[in-house]
């Protein structure tokens, strides 16, 4: 099963992240483009 080179993840609604948490999530998912709503 092939996976695309980059994935998009939308985190919206009840999610509330601090800047440090956002950086941590991005480090864990380096190939994902993460959008914080």
Residue 22, in any domain of the structure:
yes
Residue 2, in any domain of the structure:
no
If one counts the domains in the chain, the total is: 1
**In this model, does residue 32 exceed pLDDT 60?**
yes
Mean pLDDT computed over 23-37? 87
Looking at residue 21, what is its pLDDT? 92
The residue range of the domain holding 20 is 7-36
Looking at residue 1, what is its pLDDT? 57
What are the Cα distances from residue 4, in Å, to 11, 26, 34, 36, 37? 19, 17, 15, 21, 23
The better pLDDT of the pair 5, 11 is held by 11
Residue 1, in any domain of the structure:
no
Looking at residue 13, what is its pLDDT? 72
Residue 18, in any domain of the structure:
yes
- Asked whether the CA dihedral 25, 22, 12, 36 is positive or negative, the reply is negative
pLDDT in tens, 6-29: 788 887 777 788 999 989 989 998
Note the pTM of the prediction, 2 decimals: 0.57
């Amino acid at each position: 099963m092939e996976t695309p080179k980059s994935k998009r993840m939308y985190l919206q609604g009840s999610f509330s992240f601090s800047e440090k948490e956002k950086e941590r999530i991005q480090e864990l998912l380096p190939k994902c483009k993460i959008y914080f709503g």
